[in-house]
Amino acid sequence: MHSQKPPKSGLSCKMVLQAVGKVLRKSKTKPNGKKPPAEEKKHYLEPEYTKVRVVDFDLKELVVLPREIDLNEWLASNTTTFFNLINLQYSTISEFCTGDTCQSMTACNTIYYWYDERGKKTKCTAPQYVDFVMSMVQKLVTDEEIFPTKYGKEFPNSFESLVKKICRYLFHVLAHIYWAHFKETVALELQGHLNTLYAHFIVFVREFNLVDPKETSIMDDLSDVVCAPLPAAQNHVTER
Ligand SMILES: [Zn+2]
């Protein structure tokens, strides 16, 4: 049997965003019960979860720089979209991510520390860390001097390094969702969205070398599985 890929133009980041929004609005029921202790086992690596995606085509096609589009414009638009989507995904589990349940920003036995503007290392809870990340990114992506939206305005020299910084921090948030809040994500039936968002993000940062592979290596076991195209047999593709 030969399964065909869906049309390339059929899906955009905006549509993924809309799909996430739709599901979020639909799911009124929240999982009950308290936050479980730190997960010893990586439940997110179980095949029943890793095979769940919202899209089943090659994400690489989505991330490559389209002809006619300026590289910085492309990086700016994707970074802003990932910021919004990751913020939204985190918001679905944020009520379970508290100073009690997540006393530090952990992911796969790594603890992330926040560095303030003066470079001082501070230990903070996961919700504080995520709040620092989101506030910092919000400030950057809405700064017209850094993410210009007006015609003729140029990107600053520091643009690429700032995009790298943003992507590194957004990765920490995704890793924390998997590590500490995967059960709640499954209870909300949002694991397909999380896997799709994660895979899209990883394929994007790899394409443009935006995050040091050493940084993302803690999640390589997951990346290897979800970034690979699904085997044809599992594709939910309509035959023509
Ligand atoms: Zn948490």
Instruction: Tell whether 1 is covered by a domain.
Output: no
- Predicted local confidence at residue 8, as pLDDT: 42
- Predicted local confidence at residue 140, as pLDDT: 97
Residues with Cβ within 8 Å of residue 157, at least 6 apart in sequence: none
- Predicted local confidence at residue 66, as pLDDT: 94
**Domain harbouring 123, CATH code:** 1.20.140.30
pLDDT of residue 34 exceeding 60: no
pLDDT of residue 55 exceeding 70: yes
- Predicted local confidence at residue 91, as pLDDT: 98
Instruction: Tell whether 123 is covered by a domain.
Output: yes
Angle at 175 (CA atoms; ends 89, 178), nearest 5 degrees: 65
Distance 105 CA to ligand 1 centre (A): 7
Instruction: Tell whether 23 is covered by a domain.
Output: no
Binning pLDDT at 50, 70 and 90, where does residue 26 land? very low
Q: For residue range 199-217, list pLDDT tens digits in order.
A: 999 999 999 999 999 999 9
Provide the domain count of the chain. 1
- Predicted local confidence at residue 52, as pLDDT: 80
pLDDT of residue 111 exceeding 60: yes
Binning pLDDT at 50, 70 and 90, where does residue 116 land? confident
Instruction: Tell whether 19 is covered by a domain.
Output: no
Instruction: Return the sign of the alpha-carbon dihedral for residues 80, 83, 86, 92.
Output: negative
Distance 213 CA to ligand 1 centre (A): 23
Gap between the Cα atoms of 101 and 126, Å rounded: 9
97 annotated among ligand-binding-site residues: yes
Distance 103 CA to ligand 1 centre (A): 8
**Span 89-104, average pLDDT:** 97
Partner residues linked to 112 by β-bridges: 105
Instruction: Tell whether 22 is covered by a domain.
Output: no
Which amino acid, residue 87? N
pTM for the whole structure: 0.79
Among 50-54, 69-73, 123-127, 188-192, the minimum mean pLDDT is found in 50-54
Distance 240 CA to ligand 1 centre (A): 44
**Span 151-159, average pLDDT:** 92
Instruction: Tell whether 6 is covered by a domain.
Output: no
Which amino acid, residue 156? P
Q: What is the largest CA-CA distance in the chain?
A: 60
Distance 220 CA to ligand 1 centre (A): 20
Instruction: Tell whether 14 is covered by a domain.
Output: no
pLDDT of residue 13 exceeding 50: no
Neighbour tally for 53: CB within 10 Å = 23
Instruction: Tell whether 192 is covered by a domain.
Output: yes
Binning pLDDT at 50, 70 and 90, where does residue 220 land? very high
Give the domain extent around 124. 42-233
**Span 8-13, average pLDDT:** 44
